[in-house]
Amino acid sequence: AEGFSSSRDAITDEDLLRVSEQLYKADHNKARPTDIAINPQYQASPDETGDQEDRSPQPLYRYVNEELFSRPTYASFIKLLDNYQRATGREEDVTAEELREQDNFLKEVMKTELMKKLFAFLHKKNRYGSEQEFVADLKEMWFGLYSRGDGEQDSSGFEHVFSGRAFTGGRGGTGQRRAGRLIPGSRLCLGEVKKGKVSGFHNWIRFYLLEKQGIVNYFSHNFNGPWDTYPDVLGLQFSWDGFYKEVGSAFIGSSPEFEFGLYTLCFIARPGRACHLSLGGYSLSIQTYTWTKTTYGNGKKYIATAYVISS
């Protein structure tokens, strides 16, 4: 790996399989089978994922026990979801309150056994000298702003993967768009939209909250993970106000710290490549990409995106 000359610092494929199993077992905040009921309905073939045809008349989520959302990591995660502009090319105005929400989320996830195990692993591999250094880097790599537009600081890894924008139909547009019009002042976000299609947006909590409000329309799934419990994985087709997502992979029922931790592990260990993991005895891969146009610190890269490979 860049910057590490000793073979003992290398993160091997075997290391990734071992530590990912440890993180999987440490996800104590994940949903129980009684907490979520999903209705996947139609499974699309590879030739059908681009059809933009709604083959599932019912919502994906039949039931979610929203008591989950009162747990500290869930509650602090949900508070972050409305902190972003919805139009690309618009400078993010990060308020003091939003910075506190970022810090609070990082504080809460670092209390969990899962994130403590992740830090211990990375510390042993000489990636970080202290937990304080690790948290500071998490804040930069996930929440640091860069430009996906015309030079404005308008995006971040966290926004793209977990939250994003609800409307990118033009400069200056605000509010939620529904039935061809904007609803002023609304703060509902989705993934980013590029060339009429949704990109990013890989989080089950976000999907559930927007589907519940009638903003997301589930079409079908093309991939269903091997698990009979949570977290599970689905590859989804869905639309949002006319914008289509051909394949949107997502963990279902995992805690915020589980996704945050796995994506972080893979971004550090295998940036820009498939990262092969083992979860509950099953193989799974995560793809991350670095943002290459700008850096922070001593040439470190921001997260551009991270998602489960659902094929």
3-state DSSP call for residue 254?
coil
99, two tokens: 């910075």
276 in active site: no
Residue 294 parent element (H or E): strand 282-296
**What is residue 203's DSSP assignment?**
B
81, two tokens: 């979801």
| Torsion angle of C-alpha atoms 101, 115, 124, 157, degrees rounded to 10 | -50
Which residue among the candidates 30, 221, 245, 301 is catalytic per the annotation? 245
In 106-242, beta strands by DSSP E: 176-178, 181-183, 192-194, 197-199, 216-224, 232-240
| Torsion angle of C-alpha atoms 145, 116, 250, 270, degrees rounded to 10 | 70
Which residue among the candidates 30, 125, 160, 301 is catalytic per the annotation? 160
28 in active site: no
Contacts of 209 (CB under 8 A, 6+ apart): 78, 81
CB 236 within 8 A of CB 246: no
The CA–CA distances, whole Å, from 247 to 222, 268, 291, 296 equal 8, 25, 22, 31
Contacts of 34 (CB under 8 A, 6+ apart): 65
In whole angstroms, give the CA distance from residue 272 to residue 256: 22
29, two tokens: 């905040």
Which residue among the candidates 30, 202, 221, 301 is catalytic per the annotation? 202
CB 251 within 8 A of CB 277: no
Buried b / exposed e along 108-122 (16+ C-beta atoms within 10 A): bbbebebbebbbebb
202 in active site: yes
Active-site residue list: 160, 202, 245
